[in-house]
Structure 1
Amino acid sequence: MSVTAARGFTASGVSAGIKDSGAPDLALVVNRGPSYAAAAVFTSNRVQAAPVRWSRRVIGDGALAAVVLNSGGANACTGPAGEDDARAMAERTARALRVEAEQVAVCSTGLIGVPLPVDRVTAGIDAAAAELSEDGGEAAAIAIKTTDSVHKTAVASGSGPASGPRSGSGPGPGWTVGGMAKGAGMLAPGLATMLVVLTTDADVSAPTLDSALRQAVRTTFDRVDSDGCMSTNDTVLLLASGASGVRPDPAEFAEAVHGVCLDLALRLVADAEGASKEIEVRVVGAASEQDAVTVGRSIARNNLLKCALHGEDPNWGRVLSAIGTTSAVFDPDRLDVSINGVRVCRDGAAGEPRDKVDLSGRAVTVTVDLRSGDASATIWTNDLTAAYVHENSAYSS
C-alpha cells in the first residue's frame, strides 16, 4: 500500500497526458490529519527546479496537507514560467482539496528544460483528486516513474520497538511508516534523481520528523552513488498524520524511518539504468567516517572498476588506484581488499588468487580495510554497461 499503509492518508495516480505514451504521470498524496507535521530534504545541486524552490518555501513551517507529483517533465531550468507552473500546481491541488496552497508540496521529474503542459497537469490534478483512496498508494508510485522499470515501495511498523521493513498490506495495531520512490538514473550523493514520499500515522512533531529524516537520508539515499550525476529535482518528504494516536520513542521511530529509506535506496540501485551488477562498497578500518565515505565514493565512481566488474573481472588493482586518489588516512602497504569474500589484496599486494572470486551473480561486495581506525561506511553503486550508455545517449530524443 506504499504511502497509504499509514492511517490518515489517501493517494491516487492518473494519466494526465504529460507523457506521450499515455502512461500514468500524475500523483497525489493527501494527509487527512489530525496532525499535519512534515519535514523534507532536497537536492544539494545549486541548479534547482522550480518545484524544489516552491517546496523549500512551504515546508518552512513544518506542515503539509498534500503533495502533488508529476513525471514526464522536470520543470527545471524553465525560467519564471516554470515558477508560475509550480505555483499553479499547488494552487490547483489546494482548490481541489480545500486547503491552502502553502500546505502543498510540489515534485516533478523528467527531462530538464522542457515546459510542462500546464493545462493537462491541472486537469490531471482534478482527476487525481476525484480518485483519492486509502488503496491508492500503488497507483501513485506507478505514476511517478520515468525510466524506472518497476515502482518502488516500502513499509515498516512498530507498536513498541520498531520492527523494521515488513511485507503486508496494512497497518498494524501500533504505528506505521510507508514510502514510495522513483529513480533509476542520475543517482549520486546529495540524494539522487529521485522523488521520495514517506508517510507515518505516528504522532510525531515536525522537529522529530526532521531529525529522523536527516539521519536516515545521510546513510541511505546520500550513500547511493550509481553514476556520479546529481539531479536538480531530488526531494524526500516525510508527512505525519498522527492518526494512530501513538507517540513512539524517537529512537525507535528513527530506526523505522531509516529502514524504509534503506529499503527504497537499495531498490533505486537495483533498478539503475542498464545495470547488471549491484555493487556494495564497504570501507572499514578508517580513521574517520568521512574518510570511509570519501574512499567508498572514489571506488564507486571508478569507471574502470565498474567496467571490470561488469565483465566479471575481480581487478583489485583498480580498487587500490581509486583509494590512492583520496586524502584519506592510510598506508598503501597495509591496504586489504576483498571481493565477494575473497581477500584478493593483502598488505597492498596480491592476496588470494583472483580466480577464486565468483562474480557470476548480480550481487557484488567490495570490502576495503584501510587499517587506520575504527570508522566505517557503505556506498552502493552498480556496474557500467553498454545498456546504460545506450539509454542515456537517446534520453531526450
Structure 2
Amino acid sequence: MSVTAAPGFVAAGVAAGIKASGNPDLSLVATADGKPVAAAGVFTRNKMTAAPVITTRAHLEATAGHAVAVVLNSGNANAATGQQGIDDAEAMCAAVATELGVDASQVLVCSTGLIGIPMPIDVIKAGIPSVVAARSADGGQAAATAIMTTDTVAKQVVIDGGGFVVGGMAKGAAMLSPNMATMLAVLTTDAAATPEQLKAALVYGVADSFNALDVDGCTSTNDTVLLLASGLAGSVDEAALNDAVARACASLAAQMCADAEGATKVVRMTVTGAASDEEALLGARYVSRSNLVKCSWYGCDPYWGRIASDLGSCGIDFDPSKFSVSYGGITVCRGAIDADHDAAAVASHMAGRNLEIVADLGLGTGTATILTNDLSHAYIDENMGTS
C-alpha cells in the first residue's frame, strides 16, 4: 500500500496523456476524508527553482503547514517555464481543489520530467477528474507508478513505528545529488504531529538518506520531499517519529540508487579518520563524483590510486603516510602504498552488485558515507539527448 499504508490517506495514478508512450503520468495522494492535515516539505537548493516548488512552498506558507492533497505529474518538469509555469502549477492545484471541494492553497503540486518545455496544461486539467475519482486506500501502487520517468521500478516503503506507520513513494533515477535525488518523495503517517514537528522529522530524515545520495553530481530543479500526518494514531514520541521517517527516507534513497540510470554497481563510499565529519563528507562526495573512479568501479577495478588522488586534491586535510583504502573490508593500500592482500577476494567483491569502499585518512574521528554508483555506457546512452 506504500503511501496509503498510514490510515487516513488515499491515492491514485492514471494515464492523462502527458507522456507520448501512454504510460501513467498523473498521480494523487489525498486525505481520505478531504480535510486538511499537518504537512511539511523540504526542497531543492537549486536556484533554478521549478514552478511546482515555488507553488508548494507558497501554499504551505499560506496554510501554516496544512494540506488536503498532493497532485504530481511525470513527463514534464514545469521548470524554466517562467510565469506561465507558475500559472500552470496553480491551475493544477485549482483543478484538484475544485474536484475535492477545498481551497486551492490546500493542494500541493510536484512535477518531474523534461526541463524548459511548456506544460500541456489542458491535457493535465482534463485528466484531473479521473485521478481524483480513482483515489482509494489501495491506490498506492498506481500513484507510485505514475510518477516514474526513467525509473524502471516504482519506489515504495512502509515503516512500522510501533503504534504508528510511515508510508511513502518516490521517484528518481538520475539528476540525483539532492542537497536539501530529478527526485520526488511523498511520505504519510498516521502519527499526530504539528507542521513544525513534521519539518524537523524531515530535516532529520533526509540528512543521511537523500542528502547522502549522489548518483551523478547533478541537483534537480524540482527536488521535493513532502510529509503529511493524518493524526489518527494519536501523539507519538518525537524521537520515534524522526527515526521512522529517517528509515523510510533511507529505504527510498537506497531504491533510487539501485535503479539509477545505467548503474551496474551500488556503492557505499565511506571516508573515515578525517579531521571532521564535514571534511569526511566533502571527501566522500568528491570521490563519488569522480568520473575516473566511477569508471574503475564499472570495470570492477580496485584502482585505489584514483581515490587517493581525489582525496589529496579536494581541499581537506590529508597525509599520505596515514592513508589506507579497503574494498569489502580488505585493505589494499596502507600509507599510500600498495598493501599485500587477497587479490581473489577483492576481485570477487568488485564483481558483485554492491561495493563497500572505505578510505581511512588516519587523522581524526570524522566520518561520512555517500551512496553512489558506477558510470556505464548505458548512462551516457540515456543522457546524450534530451531526457
TM-score range, shorter chain: over 0.9
Give the aligned partner of residue 261 of structure 2: 273
SS of 2:248's partner is helix
Kindly indicate whether residue 361 of structure 2 is the aligned counterpart of residue 367 of structure 1: no
1:19 and 2:15 matched: no
- The answer to whether structure 1 residue 386 and structure 2 residue 377 are counterparts is yes
Task: Provide the rounded CA distance (Å) in 2 between the counterparts of 1:158 and 1:260.
Answer: 10
1:32 and 1:241 in contact (8 A); partners too: no
Aligned to 1:38: 39
**Distance in structure 1 (CA, Å) of the matches to 2:128 and 2:22:** 16
Give the Cα separation in 1 of the matches to 2:318 and 2:380: 35
- The residue identity in structure 2 corresponding to 1:264 is L
TM-score (normalizing by structure 2): 0.96
Superposed CA offset, 1:224-276 (max 9, x none): 111111110110000001022x2111111100000000000000100000000
- Cα distance per residue 1:169-209 (max 9 Å; x no partner): xxxxx210000000001111325210100000001111111
Deviations 1:326-384 (A, max 9, x none): 22223221011101221011122111347241211111111011122222111011000
Q: Of 153, 162, 187, which aligns to 2:176?
A: 187
Q: Select between 284-293 and 145-154 the one with higher mean Cα deviation.
A: 284-293
Gaps of 5+ in 2: none
Q: Are residue 339 (structure 1) and residue 327 (structure 2) matched?
A: yes
User: Which of 52, 56, 68 lines up with 2:71 in the alignment?
Assistant: 68
Inter-partner Cα distance in structure 2 for 1:110 and 1:63? 26
- The one-letter code sitting in structure 2 at the alignment partner of 1:135 is D
CA distance in 1, matches of 2:178, 2:146: 24
| Structure 1 residue identity aligned to 2:131 | A
Equivalent runs, 1:343-362 vs 2, <5 Å:
343-353=331-341, 355-356=343-344, 357=346, 358=348, 359-362=350-353
Higher mean C-alpha displacement, 94-103 vs 325-334: 325-334
Shift of 1:69: 0.1
Residue 3 (structure 1) aligned with residue 6 (structure 2): no
Q: Does 1:210 align with 2:213?
A: no
Residues 1:117 and 2:108 aligned together: no
TM-score (normalised: structure 1): 0.94
Describe the superposition over 1:46-105 as per-residue Cα deviations: whole angstroms up to 9, x where unpaired.
001110110111112111111000001001111111111000001001111111111111
* Equivalent residue, structure 2, for 1:287: 275
Amino acid at match of 2:184: L
- Counterparts of 1:141-160 in structure 2 under 5 Å? 141-159=144-162
Checking the alignment, whether the CA contact within 8 Å between 2:158 and 2:248 is kept in structure 1 is yes
Q: Is the Cα–Cα contact under 8 Å of residues 298 and 325 in structure 1 kept in the other structure?
A: no
Structure 2 SS opposite 1:371 = coil
Number of residue pairs matched? 381
Q: C-alpha distance in 2, partners of 1:354/1:227?
A: 31
Q: Corresponding residue for 2:189?
A: 200
Unmatched runs of 5 consecutive residues or more in structure 1: 160-173
Provide runs of 4+ in structure 1 moved above 6 Å. Answer: none
For the aligned residue pairs, the C-alpha RMSD in angstroms reads 1.2
1:395 to partner: Cα distance: 3.5
1:36-115 mapped onto 2 (5 Å cutoff): 36-60=37-61, 61-115=64-118
Cα offset, 1:32, TM superposition: 3.5
Counterpart residue identity of residue 274, structure 2? A
Distance 1:101 1:325 in 2: 51
Tell me the SS of whatever aligns to 2:235.
coil
Counterpart for residue 162 of structure 1: none
